[in-house]
Amino acid sequence: MFRFTGKEIRDLIISFIVIALGFTILYSNGDYSNIGLVFPIVMIGVGAGFIFHELGHKFVAMHYGYYAEYELWPTGLIIALVSSFFGFIFAAPGAVVIYSNGMEKKTNGIISIAGPIVNIILGLIFFLILVSLGDFAYTETGYLVALTCVLGTRINFFLAAFNLLPIPPLDGSKVMAWSVPVWLITFAIAALLVLIFGGFL
């Protein structure tokens, strides 16, 4: 059964708020006059991207019979917030900790790649919603929905590519330790999506 402890829920909420604030600062480009509008919109993209990314790790780990729990990383929270003022965000506020006496590299790699794959799927969903808006996107409400989808697309593709960097403790290092070809293909896809949709949207 998939269970959440009170501490885990607290850590997820704190991390979510800090990461959402970081992306809001990043996308504000130094102009915080519309932060009240941008923050709630960013929260949707980050909420979907960050929460489901971590749940992807947790559920796959539990599928393999391991106990897994999200734990925030205080230093990572500070780095994420500070880095957002410099045009980049170090999006590693915490991680799903898997409790085991030993784990095969393949299993660890599959658990690790689950989060970025979730982000890629979510990014595509946000984009498909965006292109399906049609003329509705030119209405006041439609504009907000479109902006939410644009940021949701960008944020999720970024989270996928960032987490696939082969740098410990990021997911990419564990995926690469399991299979270099799998890591290379997945990272290439995520990076390409960032390049395409970062400039297109």
Which pTM does this prediction carry?
0.92
Query: Each residue of 5-30: pLDDT tens digit?
Result: 999 999 999 999 999 999 999 988 88
- Where do we find the tokens 């990014």? 123
Query: Each residue of 149-172: pLDDT tens digit?
Result: 999 999 999 999 999 999 998 999
Given the residues 8, 54, 69, 140, the one annotated as active site: 54
The values of phi and psi at residue 74, to 5°, are: -50, -45
Query: Each residue of 37-68: pLDDT tens digit?
Result: 889 999 998 889 999 999 999 999 999 999 99
- The pLDDT of residue 72 is above 90: yes
Active site residue 54: yes
Q: Decide: 55 and 62 in contact? Cβ < 8 Å.
A: no
